[in-house]
Structure 1
Amino acid sequence: MKTIVVRNIKRTEADLVKRLGALGVSTVHEAYGRFGLMKPYLRPVWTGAEAAGTAVTVLAQPGDNWMIHVAVEQCRPGDMLVVGCTADNTDGMFGELLATSLKARGVVGLVIDAGCRDVKALREMGFPVWSRAISAKGTVKATPGAVNVPVVCAGINVHPGDAVIADEDGVVVVQRKYATDVVARAEKRHADEEGKRRQLASGVLGLDMYNMREPLAKAGLVYVDEAEPE
């Protein structure tokens, strides 16, 4: 592994990121062909958290948050810090002080495939974090890693500048080169769902709205009435 910091990365356009964030993780994930969703063990550390930003990536050593400090300098307003580790780890690699530093640079949130601490403080300051674990276990600053290189975080390959959307449904990553297409698909999907929502609210059954009855019958589903007791 090269110990390197890549500067001046290309980022997904801010307007596209904003539109993706407004649509939410579930809609974006579906519009992206059910791709890009991080493993569900990544959870927001406080209820109601949501964020959308461009990825600044960190490859860190387990139990060592040195490279997170290095990455802060490379962050711009609207970025989301995404931290992957070279091995499984749940140590509390991120807390209130790093969040204060990131917030001062306009960073909108953090996704970390490791542990997080100082949850109460993070909630009070409104800094959203999605982490693998919550742990008070401290870390060291001993071994370099890398910043703004492709990293694997919770099972997804993340490139610097990708769009990252996170809420209570999870975290989804859209590659920069696909962002325009995914936005168009997601906005169309959202509009279609509004119409379906109105039909379902009026009492229409999903069985009929989605024309499920005929394929269900072909698949062998049979309805029978319960026999009256003798």
Structure 2
Amino acid sequence: MIEVQPLDPVMVDSLRRITTATLTTVLLKKGLRNVWMRGTRPFQPGQQRAVGRAFTLRFISAREDLATPASWSSPISTRAAIEAMPAGCICVAGAMGVTDAGIFGDVLCARMRKRGVAALVTDGVVRDSEGVLSTGLPVWCQGTTAPASVSGLTFVNWQEPVDCGGVAVYPNDVVVLDQDGAVLIPAAMVDEVVALGQEQERLEGWIMKRVNNGAPLPGLYPPNAENVAAYEADRALDL
């Protein structure tokens, strides 16, 4: 099994201050267009933002001889996968966008919470909605359903590449979650994306002040050479 690599707490704190909107813009400039996981909406309004390494789960279409209640006791099961999740990781479950079979319910979410998992992200749905909410585990998903996972899905394995919401997610990629959804940062690009994201947030904060003061957008957003110079001069004063 691929071990989850620790994520520097300073990096986590920095990413919590960068919106997913900004991250998608930064990644777009680096040539990555497909990083926002479709269908991953906050389960509850106002959920706390979350950042962590991806711990992946893979589901495929249900096959009647494999997708049974008995499979929940198999060595290859969601139950076993949860026991391998380290504190601080984000569980990313690729569920093929299936919305009539809940991948997890309240008991499994409660166990994830006890293990210190930062959040659950899936392009599928959960069940036992009231119970899931009561666990306090932050969840991003497509909604809820009553039937169990084996009604429409077969669990295959954990810690291997998965497709979640049309995005290729590899173990140890970094996932950032906010009210706009889930964004993936490739593991090899995290340091660069954080640095660029912080600068983008500073620049947009400066631009917003100008907008609030009545400045027109042409030449300001994006900034032309004159406004870049003005930004850099103001930035130098703040350092």
Deviates more, 1:115-124 or 1:192-201: 115-124
In structure 2, the residue corresponding to 1:111 is in which secondary structure?
A: strand
Q: So what's the TM-score if we normalise by structure 1? A: 0.80
Aligned to 1:37: 35
Task: Give the percent of matched residue pairs that are identical in Structure 1 and Structure 2.
Answer: 26
Q: Distance in 2 between matches of 1:136 and 1:211?
A: 47
Aligned to 2:46: 48
| Mapped pair 1:179 → 2:174 | no
Aligned to 1:127: 137
Amino acid at match of 1:24: T
Counterpart contact for 1:45–1:119, Cα < 8 Å: no
Q: Which has the larger radius of gyration?
A: 1
- What is the CA distance between 1:113 and its match in structure 2? 2.0
Aligned to 2:237: none
Structure 1 pair 20/147, CA: closer, same or farther in 2 (3 Å)?
same
Pairing of 1:1-230 with structure 2 (within 5 A)? 6-33=1-28, 35-49=33-47, 50-62=49-61, 66=72, 67-85=77-95, 87-90=96-99, 91-140=101-150, 145-210=156-221
Could you list the per-position Cα deviations for residues 13-32 of structure 1 after superposition, in whole angstroms to 9, with x for gaps in the alignment? 44323321221211111112
* Structure 2 segments unaligned to the other structure (5+ residues): 224-239
Deviates more, 1:63-72 or 1:110-119: 63-72
Could you list the per-position Cα deviations for residues 35-90 of structure 1 after superposition, in whole angstroms to 9, with x for gaps in the alignment? 353343221111112211111001123465943222212211110000113x4422
In structure 2, the residue corresponding to 1:92 is in which secondary structure?
A: coil
Q: Distance in 2 between matches of 1:202 and 1:154?
A: 40
In structure 1, the residue corresponding to 2:188 is in which secondary structure?
A: helix
* Structure 1 segments unaligned to the other structure (5+ residues): 1-5, 213-230
Amino acid at match of 1:89: V
- What is the CA distance between 1:139 and its match in structure 2? 2.9
Deviates more, 1:90-99 or 1:121-130: 121-130
Q: Distance in 2 between matches of 1:133 and 1:153?
A: 15
Counterpart contact for 2:52–2:175, Cα < 8 Å: yes
Q: Distance in 2 between matches of 1:88 and 1:171?
A: 15
What is the RMSD computed on CA atoms of the aligned residues?
A: 2.5
In structure 2, the residue corresponding to 1:94 is in which secondary structure?
A: coil
Q: Distance in 2 between matches of 1:122 and 1:22?
A: 27
Counterpart contact for 1:12–1:179, Cα < 8 Å: no
Counterpart contact for 2:37–2:123, Cα < 8 Å: no
Deviates more, 1:141-150 or 1:92-101: 141-150
Equivalent residue pairs, number: 207
Q: Distance in 2 between matches of 1:89 and 1:210?
A: 40
